[in-house]
Amino acid sequence: MRETRNHLLVLEAVHAGPELSRPELAQRTGLSRPTVSGVADELIASGLLEERVSGPRRGTGRPPRLLALAPQAGYAIGLDFGRDHVGWVVCDLAGTALAGGRREVAADASAAENIELVAGLVEDGLEALAVPTELVLGVGAAMAAPIDRPAGELHADNLLPGWAGVRPQPALEARFDFPVVLDNDANAGALGERALGAGAGVDDLVYVRLSTGVGAGLVVGGALYTGGAGMAGEIGHATVVEGGPICRCGNRGCLEAVASPVAVAALLETAGGEPMSVARMIELVAAGDRGAMRAVADAGELVGRAVAATVNLLNPRVIVLGGELAQAGEVLLDAVVRAVARHASPPVAATVEVRLSALGEQAEVLGAAVLVLAEAPRRLVARVGATQARPRSSSAT
Ligand SMILES: [Zn+2]
């Protein structure tokens, strides 16, 4: 038995499925039912698909049997390189996080130090899970800076100083024995929320990451829209305050300069005269502190203004608010909703729903794993007919 185009078609259909009956598979692939059945049986024998009995009986017949990817037929590693943290996760093919974590790092730590740290954590994680490395499909990495395509250069400037002059893909491939895929953190967050969080099943989605960097990940017609050079979604540099503070990009009054969590905390620090961390500001909001709530709501108004322009342009169904500022919760959400309603074209604004991130600080690292899972059918098909490899811990023998 050898892999064929038909095996790939069936794997791709099931991957998009995510659970399909054999007649549904025939319809989606355009293959005949006998062909689909033969291919599905081979994929089951190779350990790549599994059959599940699902749902109520239809009439007097047997309950429908649905095909799905076998979750433990492959694993994806997600990495998240932020300004002051690194994160990692190991997911199965269903996108379930089996292990992961997050470490604070110094903002000026070198790329090499951060890669070494996270590689050690991943190796320990795979070992603890008893995942054989041959079942790892690849590494996805979310980078907290724009990535120029196809050159693969990171615009690290003030965001990831330790990465200046480092091309992430070769640097990661030199340390990991797996294929590496990359995207910036806002795009990864969009993919994470769409696959596993607040945007599940939504084909037109904008994820707004309100962190040290402010940016948006755009999902248009079910696919990530990255633009001509891979840098679409730089909503953080929309001018929202004429003559406002100077931004790191050199312009004045950019959204990032006035509504990043650090910028909002700095306002409170000026008002209160005591040092104010982002974490403390979020605590104050949760405790109902009027000044903190006002500062977050004012930032939300400015976010909403910038988002309204995006809403007019793209007509998304859902806006997901992520990043540390989203931890402020309803205060931020309400302000953004009001500003979008005020500043976007009313009929367009009426069709969009603004939601808070469901994955929180995990959105980017899970999205990085989703980058790998998107390639699962192509990577799995090479295993058709090969001896089944399984995690050592779940071996039946
Ligand atoms: Zn700017």
Question: How close is the Cα of 139 to the center of ligand 1, in Å?
Answer: 31
pLDDT of 81 higher than 70: yes
325 C-alpha vs ligand 1 centroid, how far in Å? 18
Give the pLDDT confidence score for residue 396 in this predicted structure: 41
| Listed residue (212, 244, 208) closest to 337, CA to CA | 208
Strand, helix or coil at 216? strand
pLDDT computed for residue 133 by the predictor: 93
Q: Separation of 258 CA from ligand 1 center, angstroms?
A: 10
For residue 73, report the distance from its CA to the centre of ligand 1, in Å.
44
Q: In whole angstroms, give the CA distance from residue 115 to residue 79.
A: 10
Ligand 1 centroid to Cα of residue 240, in Å, is: 10
Residue 57 has pLDDT above 70, yes or no: no
Q: How confident is the model at residue 388 (pLDDT cuts 50, 70, 90)?
A: low
Could you report the per-residue pLDDT of 251-280, keeping only the tens digit for each? 999 999 999 999 999 999 888 788 899 999
Residue 94, SS3? coil
Q: What is the DSSP-derived secondary structure letter of residue 245?
A: P
Cis upstream peptide for 150 (omega within 30°): yes
Give the distance (Å) from ligand 1 centre to CA of residue 229: 18
- The 10 Å CB-count burial string (b at 16+, else e) for 18-42 is ebbbbebbbebbebeeebbeebbeb
How many angstroms does the Cα of residue 251 sit away from the middle of ligand 1?
5
User: 13 alpha carbon to ligand 1 midpoint, in Å?
Assistant: 42
Residue 384 and residue 43 in contact, taking contact as beta carbons nearer than 8 Å: yes
Quote the pLDDT of residue 182: 93
Query: DSSP secondary-structure letter at 326?
Result: G
Sheet strands (E) in 96-241: 97-104, 136-143, 147-148, 153-154, 180-184, 205-210, 214-220, 223-225
Ligand 1 centre to CA of 311 (Å) is 20
Q: How confident is residue 2, by pLDDT bands cut at 50, 70 and 90? A: low
Burial label for 228, CB within 10 Å (0-12, 13-18, 19+), is: exposed
Give the Å distance between the CA of 242 and the centre of ligand 1.
12
Ligand 1 center from residue 233 Cα (angstroms): 13
- Ligand 1 centroid to 177 CA: how many Å? 37
**What is the β-pairing status of strands 180-184 and 136-143?**
parallel
Is residue 189 packed enough to be buried (19+ CB in 10 Å), middle (13-18) or exposed (0-12)?
A: buried
What is this structure's pTM?
Answer: 0.91
Instruction: Evaluate whether 137 touches 377 at the Cβ level (below 8 Å).
Output: no
